[in-house]
Structure 1
Amino acid sequence: MTSITVATSDGSASFDAYLAQPAGAPRAAVIVIQEIFGVNEGIRRKCDTLAQAGYLALAPDLFWRLEPGVQLDPDVEPELQRAFGLMNRFDQNQGIADIEATIRAARIRVDGGKVGVVGYCLGGRLAFMTAARTDVDASVGYYGVGLDGLLGEKHGIANALLLHIASEDHLVPKDAQAAVHAGLDDHPRVTIHDYPGEDHGFAAEMGRRRSEQAAGLADQRTTEFFARHLA
């Protein structure tokens, strides 16, 4: 497993990021933003798939201040509860600063080329925040939680943002989903896809949450989105 060290924005510390490199020169870079389960095998597989498609992929360890290197399995109840505990202690603003530092590191590795982000669960929320607060070139969020509470930042979205919403997400009530649509459907840089009958985590690489057909459709849309906006 290959990882690199990324310096924090203020240079006072550093953290690890999983690195997957393409066979040839990268077409662009993509930052994969973790779920609440750390940079586990599923997140690393997301990076590996992106590398196979020609991207340099990085997954920063965003929980490094709390528990460096943590890897949890959502199908194991004690590990699920541990993940919720980490999420509750996690400083999301610091997380965005670490993502921004990773974007800068990735840009250097692709000679100033384009950088995108894709996030899942907590990472889906952070992908929205990254789109609104940084110079990232394209962002994708899968089943982000609490996006309705972030709509006040939508004016900051300067580049393309794609959101995948699970219609039966047990963590995102219907009224919250409706608020996201009401707030973003007319935004010129935002595209939203709904997945009827699907629950939170449907695009996980493995485990009980995965829904094969919906995951395949969402991932195809993400592939086409990055091909268009990171070219």
Structure 2
Amino acid sequence: MGKFIDLTAADGFVFPAYVAEPAGKPKAAVVVLQEIFGVNSHIQQVTDRFAAQGYLAVAPATFHRVKPGVDMGYDEAGMKEGIALKAAVNGLPAPGVLTDIQAAIDHAAKASGGKVGIIGFCWGGFLAWRAACLLKGLSAAVPYYGGGMTAPAEIALQPKCPVLAHFSDRDH
């Protein structure tokens, strides 16, 4: 079972991340990027499962810059609020939330002493793609149904690490 800790981004912004540690020395680390529902119980469970397999896992709260403590269910109200929060985060001045993701990558590398991969779901999948292309310190990226990844501006980006992308016709 993991716990929330505070991380500090390069711009001094402090935000929470759910961190789950393995029983022994970590094999490596994984940064887990949330959907539009926050670091909710599902994302915490995903993070815990990585730790159970021997990986240090870190799930940064990527909505924290616009609304702290987001933890929503998968209902219509959660979907509506999540879409609004995603738009607010996407509207932040660059590099915005990528600064927080870089802090999570840096923490994962230091705490695990090894390689760091990143996985994301839905909006988090899109952010995992952007992290693979724009951030440092990643050894692999796995975006799941990252909406927006096939836009011309995104296709023009070149990942700095291997990427295994998963797509779907239906996100929900």
Q: TM-score, normalising length from structure 1? A: 0.69
* Deviation, structure 1 residue 158: 2.1
Question: SS of 1:62's equivalent?
Answer: coil
Structure 1, unpaired ranges of 5+: 169-198, 201-208, 210-231
Amino acid at match of 2:3: T
- Counterparts of 1:84 and 1:163 in 2: how far apart (Å)? 22
2:120 matched residue in structure 1? 119
Amino acid at match of 1:125: F
Question: SS of 2:38's equivalent?
Answer: coil
* Deviation, structure 1 residue 37: 0.5
Give RMSD over aligned pairs: 1.3
2:157 matched residue in structure 1? 153
Question: SS of 2:164's equivalent?
Answer: strand
Question: SS of 1:19's equivalent?
Answer: strand
1:7 matched residue in structure 2? 8
- The structure with the greater share of residues assigned to helix is 1
- Counterparts of 2:115 and 2:45 in 1: how far apart (Å)? 22
Say which structure, 1 or 2, has more relative contact order (CA 8 Å, 6+ apart). 2
Q: How does 1:185-200 map to 2 (within 5 A)?
A: 199-200=170-171
- Counterparts of 1:3 and 1:82 in 2: how far apart (Å)? 23
Q: Would you say 1:21 and 2:21 are equivalent positions?
A: yes
Amino acid at match of 1:153: L
* Deviation, structure 1 residue 62: 0.7
Return structure 1 stretches of 4+ with deviation > 3 angstroms.
none
Q: Would you say 1:132 and 2:133 are equivalent positions?
A: yes
Question: SS of 2:156's equivalent?
Answer: helix
Question: SS of 1:140's equivalent?
Answer: strand
Larger Rg: 1
Number of aligned residue pairs: 165
* Deviation, structure 1 residue 126: 0.5
* Deviation, structure 1 residue 121: 0.2
- Counterparts of 2:107 and 2:21 in 1: how far apart (Å)? 14
Q: Would you say 1:40 and 2:47 are equivalent positions?
A: no
1:103 matched residue in structure 2? 105
- Counterparts of 2:108 and 2:5 in 1: how far apart (Å)? 11
* Deviation, structure 1 residue 69: 1.3
Q: TM-score, normalising length from structure 2? A: 0.91
Question: SS of 1:105's equivalent?
Answer: helix
